Amino acid sequence: MFSRDTWKEIFETIQKNKLRTFLTGFTVALGIFIFVSLFGMGNGLNNTFAKFFGDDATNVLYLFPGRTSIPYKGYKANRRIEFENDDLAAIEKDFEMFLEYVTPRITRSALVKYKEESDNYSTRAVAPPHLFAEKTIIMKGRYLNEMDIAGKTKYAVIGRLVEQDLFKDADAIGEFIDVGGSVFKVIGVFQDDGGDNEERRIYIPYTTRQLIEKATDKVDQIIVGFKPELGYAGAMAFESSISKYIRNRKYISPNDPNGLFIRNVADQLKQNQQFAGVLQIIISGIAFAVIISGIIGISNIMLFVVKERTKEIGIRKALGATPKNVTSTILLESVFITTISGFVGMLIGVGLLRFIGNALEEDYFITDPYINIGTAIFATILLVLCGTIAGYVPARRAARIKPIVALRDE
Amino acid sequence: MIEIKDLHKSYKMGSNSLHVLKGINFSVDKGELVAIMGSSGSGKSTLLNILGMLDVADTGDYTLDGVPIKDMNETKAAQYRNKFLGFVFQSFNLINYKSAMENVALPLYYQRMPRKERQEKALKYLDQVGLKEWATHLPSELSGGQKQRVAIARAMAAEPKVLLADEPTGALDSTTSYEVMDLIQKINDEGNTILVVTHEEDIAHMCKRIVHLKDGVIVEDKKVKQVRASAYV
């Protein structure tokens, strides 16, 4: 059945029936190509999504003070809550075993000037561990350290785009900039995957900010980084115990929805992952539909091919072809064409994804589209297999018809 | 060579059954050239198809070269056709995407003959029908007579015991018809057994024996003096 002669016969048939070969091959190649590129684009969409929401650390709680709405322990409602340095220290001490770090964040907008260039930027006064919460990447120079906090130094770490805006092509490190009336020395430049806004920020020591604002010890927000080992359930439990702790410390009713806000990224992350999951399901669904329509297409072609060859089959049978000869020739031919063209379609699809790369990132939110080679090969084999099965039924029927009936077929 | 006893065949046409062969008894010896004649619907083609194992009889015995032909499965029938029988059809039935030589070599392919040998043999038979220089041409590039000669070469290539020709001249003009009959006579002269189905009197008289079929029975079976087709060519 698999002798060289059989293959030669098949190659000849393929070569001499170019249109038929092309039609069959094209259907399969197109099906696989669409599947691969769609699936890849879907993955790219997913990547963008992950990038949008994966820019910040996920083992982080953001604590925001609010305004009470329920009277509690002798305090009236509508009291404004404020965090202070003491709160930071207290959290650090009392939750030590759960914590990786604690950092304050004081956000102020400021006009920043360097020589003739100036613009408004948002400054964040923070402690060194803020680096981890925001996943800030230092491009050059260094980030703030504990000595800067202790010494209340006038050092600033500026975003990549701040440097670009103010310094053009020049190196910002060691230069002095005017931030809202105070002069800071640039000690580092950072980048951030979170997008342009994130890179138009300036980090300064929080103690310096407090000094500038008339030696206060107020803090806007507290950012708590907990140990990732806590997991999702642990993070939720940690959130509720820290909420209780702060409410107790600041005399906020446990039932007051407005006194304290906590943003738990772990919770959000879970939602995002669910969203991404739904996206993946939709993409898989479409890809599956493409494969199904590919299978239907190839089945139709096979039906057509066998129908077209009925007479030829009759002649061959009259000349001594056994039913097995007939079925195996038709099947080997179709498997050969579908396999080759399937892999060609796959390669073109993969090639296209490679070629696109990140070109669609800006406008279409498709980042690094790719398809797992295993998935692509699996889909190709599935299509070839289904094509074969779809071809087998009419091929067997053709092999069984009496030669006299086949010969009469015009 | 061929022995047929009480052969019956009917076709179902919707709810009606059409009784085509109503008890045929008939035998052919080796080396005979038999014309089977009859008007359309007389059952002559059906008889030939049964003899050619392209179709099966309902009842009756059929022995081909001492081998009883019955209860054949498709595979067995295919092998017998390949080994014992050569076919020539009215519409030539060449495979249109294969060259003349490849068409002739096809039955040898199913005999699992090696490629080289196959091609040599095919060329030899093409030479016999005078079409050696047309070996690489496709059927579409050949005239009707040439096509039929290729078909005859193909039928003979497997060296069958019996050559069955179904209206071999039906699609040809009279000159070409005589050419084809001349070829058939020559093949017969070499000792091959040939059955020709025809409704043309002149073609029938180029055979050595005429069997007349009418309404599914043999009404006449006579030996005739053969008219040589070469006289007309």
Does B39 fall in a domain? Answer: yes
**Residue A57's pLDDT is what?**
66
Contact criterion met (CB below 8 Å) for A155 and A205: yes
- Contact yes or no for A320 and B78 at CB 8 A: yes
Contact criterion met (CB below 8 Å) for B14 and B127: no
Residue of B nearest to A312 (CA): B95
> Is residue A127 predicted with pLDDT exceeding 60?
yes
> Is residue A2 predicted with pLDDT exceeding 60?
no
**Residue B46's pLDDT is what?**
86
Q: Does A169 touch chain B (CB under 8 A)?
A: no
- Parent domain of B183: 2-93+161-231
Per the model's pLDDT, the better-predicted residue between A410 and A361 turns out to be: A361
- Contact yes or no for B78 and A12 at CB 8 A: no
Query: Any idea which residue has 């007939």 for tokens?
Result: A326
Contact criterion met (CB below 8 Å) for B122 and B105: yes
Select the residue of B79, B98, B109 nearest A322 (Cβ to Cβ): B79
How is the beta sheet containing B16-28 ordered, strand by strand? B16-28, B2-13, B59-64, B67-68
pLDDT along chain B (233 residues), means of 10: 91 84 91 91 86 87 89 85 89 90 92 90 92 92 92 91 90 89 92 92 92 91 90 78
- The number of residues in chain B equals 233
**Residue A383's pLDDT is what?**
83
Closest by Cα among A20, A42, A13, A11 to A290: A42
Does B171 fall in a domain? Answer: yes
- Contact yes or no for B54 and A321 at CB 8 A: no
> Is residue A409 predicted with pLDDT exceeding 70?
no
**Residue A55's pLDDT is what?**
59
Share of chain A above pLDDT 90, in %: 19
Does B188 fall in a domain? Answer: yes
| pTM given for the model | 0.66
pLDDT bracket for residue A338 (50, 70, 90): confident
Total domain count, chain B: 1
Q: Does B11 touch chain A (CB under 8 A)?
A: no
The chain-wide mean pLDDT, for chain A, equals 85
Mean pLDDT calculated for residue range A244-273: 84
Q: What does the pLDDT look like over A147-173, one tens digit per residue?
A: 999 999 999 999 999 998 888 888 889
Q: What does the pLDDT look like over A177-223, one tens digit per residue?
A: 999 889 999 999 998 877 778 889 999 999 999 998 887 888 989 99
CA distance linking residue A289 with residue A255, whole number of Å: 50
**Residue A12's pLDDT is what?**
82
**Residue A318's pLDDT is what?**
87
Per the model's pLDDT, the better-predicted residue between A124 and A49 turns out to be: A124
Mean pLDDT calculated for residue range A305-323: 86
Mean pLDDT calculated for residue range A344-364: 82
pLDDT bracket for residue A27 (50, 70, 90): confident
Per the model's pLDDT, the better-predicted residue between A372 and B64 turns out to be: B64
- The minimum CA-CA distance between B95 and chain A, rounded to whole Å, is 6
Q: Does B116 touch chain A (CB under 8 A)?
A: no
**Residue A405's pLDDT is what?**
74
- Contact yes or no for B115 and A12 at CB 8 A: no
Does B63 fall in a domain? Answer: yes
Query: Any idea which residue has 């990447």 for tokens?
Result: A137
CATH code (residue B80): 3.40.50.300
Task: Assign 3-class secondary structure to chain B.
Answer: CEEEEEEEEEEEECCEEEEEEEEEEEEECCCCEEEEECCCCCCHHHHHHHHCCCCCCCEEEEEECCEECCCCCHHHHHHHHHHHEEEECCCCCCCCCCCHHHHHHHHHHCCCCCHHHHHHHHHHHHHHCCCHHHCCCCHHHCCHHHHHHHHHHHHHHCCCCEEEEECCCCCCCHHHHHHHHHHHHHHHHCCCEEEEEECCHHHHCCCCEEEEEECCEEEEEEECCCCCHHHCC
- The minimum CA-CA distance between A12 and chain B, rounded to whole Å, is 9
Mean pLDDT calculated for residue range A237-251: 90
- Contact yes or no for B107 and A320 at CB 8 A: yes
Mean pLDDT calculated for residue range A97-121: 90
